[in-house]
Structure 1
């Protein structure tokens, strides 16, 4: 009888696979690129609560951002708003208005109208951990002003 390698009994399975999607793609559009940028920030916050309509426009907060190019500007615009939510007073805007959209120097000034996030009032959605450059797309041409951004959740 041939003796092959014998590692003994196969151990009992003590693991499982948990499907985990670690990111989501935001797709926003508008009649102008500026509106698409505003909608993109709005979509990010809409993802953080399961009922965005519970957010009231009681306060306002100003956010500025700049980048080296258009993608950098979009990235930092989202990132600055995410910072306002996560690092400051958990301010969640219901509406974003860009007051200055400088595409030559890649600078944005914006105002968000909303309120402090309150778990008792706002059903919690999915926390956004980070903005990414992964597969970021910006279209700015006649009839097509839209952006695609992948965020880590």
Structure 2
């Protein structure tokens, strides 16, 4: 997935930039970067459990914010680490709707050495933009 960690944005938190040719690719890249932040080897997280989520927001950037927050909530509340499998974003009537199929498994500290515990997505430097034909986002995570 296309993303890179940014060392010069936040000293006590984790920041990354994600991108994609479509909004869906951007959201998938951001979700993968989030998983990489939490787990040493994301590929060790097997796709055993299936979760579907639906989110809506009037702003695309806030939809991404809510999506990443939901992944953090599922990690904290259900102890699930999740990969994005399929994401669909539809804009209708001034509102964005996200339908996401996620797959993953429960945290097993033997197989999933955790890097850091992500507490939340912050609004510090948070942005989503369409630049030169590519969707880009900057995200800072509170760890």
The verdict on a shared fold, with TM-score over 0.5 as the criterion, is yes
TM-score range, shorter chain: 0.7 to 0.9
Name which one, 1 or 2, has greater alpha-carbon Rg.
1
Is residue 2:53 matched to residue 1:53? no
What is the distance in 2 between the residues matched to 1:133 and 1:152? 10
Tell me which protein shows more strand as a share of its residues: 2
Q: Structure 1 residue 78: deviation in Å?
A: 0.8
8 A Cα contact 1:41 1:96, kept in partner: no
1:102 corresponds to which of 73, 84, 90:
90
Match in the other structure for 2:81: 92
Return the TM-score normalized by structure 1: 0.78
Deviations 1:92-111 (A, max 9, x none): 1133421x312341221101
* Aligned partner of residue 53 in structure 2, secondary structure: strand
8 A Cα contact 2:22 2:135, kept in partner: yes
Considering only aligned residues, what root-mean-square deviation do their CA atoms show, in Å? 1.7
Deviations 1:87-130 (A, max 9, x none): 12x111133421x3123412211011111111011111111011
Structure 1 segments, 4+ long, off by >6 Å, are: none
What is the distance in 2 between the residues matched to 1:23 and 1:96? 27
Alignment of 1:1-150 (within 5 A): 21-88=11-78, 90-98=79-87, 100-103=88-91, 104-150=94-140
8 A Cα contact 1:42 1:96, kept in partner: no
* Aligned partner of residue 134 in structure 1, secondary structure: strand
Q: Structure 1 residue 68: deviation in Å?
A: 3.0
Return the TM-score normalized by structure 2: 0.83
8 A Cα contact 1:33 1:140, kept in partner: no
Q: Which stretches in structure 1 are left out of the alignment for 5+ residues?
A: 1-19
